[in-house]
Amino acid sequence: MSEYRFDTDTDGRLIDDNTVEVRLDADWNVDGRILNGGYLQAVVVRAVLAIAANPGRVIAVSTSFIAPAQPGPATVEVTILRSGSSLTSASATLLQGASAVVTSLVTFASTELPYGYDDVPSRSGSYPTMPSVTRAEHSIRIPTHQLPGSPGLGQLIDHAFVPENSAWLSGDTSGGPHIRCWVDFLDGRPMDVLAAVAMVDIAPPVCFAMGEFGWAPTLQLQVGLFASPAPG
């Protein structure tokens, strides 16, 4: 069994050919109550991986968050929509009781993804620029108990804020709704594609940069994966 919390808390048990039983962990919350959307999306994608036969690499996920998920038991029902030599797609629904709380469409490709940010094919204007400093050099870290709102993910995730975009941390909201930070697992779990599926929705919401703190629900999320994350 993995020593990392993310792997333990996204794991499930295969019940039949299209159903995985999972247990949602309360620590992946955003406000002391509501479970984080990135975490839930990773649970669903991992369930699809458990059911699909050699689907390849995840390249796209489209998720709708129907209702707040609660910590505790849940099931993921998976339907393979297409299984081809180059592309595989599946729909998956996370249910608690008889109620759907999350539904995702997941697409896989048989080809390998490039590795790391620098290896992504150049498409002018398509990707954000990297910060002018590295995380290790000059990032801003806030003690968990000082983060706006309930600690929640602060116990599991390292948020390292980019200084040039972080005046909001000292009350200056003139930079508008713009937050940039590096994210990593506090227990040192390596980054991979499944982690990226979670991390896309695991930073503070941009309303924080406007001085508006509190739970900002993710209603719909589109994710495109252009490369496998490189270390760091």
User: Quick count: other Cβ atoms within 10 Å of Cβ 82?
Assistant: 10
The residue type at 183? V
* Joined tokens for residue 48: 């699809």
What burial class does residue 38 get, using C-beta atoms within 10 Å of its C-beta: 0-12 exposed, 13-18 middle, 19+ buried?
A: buried
pLDDT of residue 55: 86
Residues of the chain with pLDDT under 50: none
Helix, strand counts (H, E) of the chain: 4, 9
Q: Between the CA of residue 191 and those of 3, 84, 185, what are the distances in Å?
A: 14, 28, 8
Alpha carbon 6 to chain centroid distance?
Answer: 11
pLDDT of residue 26: 92
Reported as half-sphere exposure (CB side, CA atoms, 13 A), residue 124 has a value of 0
For residues 160 and 155, give the distance between their C-alpha atoms in angstroms, rounded to a whole number.
14
Name which of 93, 106, 104 is nearest 60 in CA terms: 106
User: Looking at 28-178, which runs of residues are DSSP E strands?
Assistant: 57-65, 72-83, 87-96, 99-109, 157-161
pLDDT of residue 216: 76
pLDDT digits (tens, 9 = 90+) for 206-217: 888 998 887 778
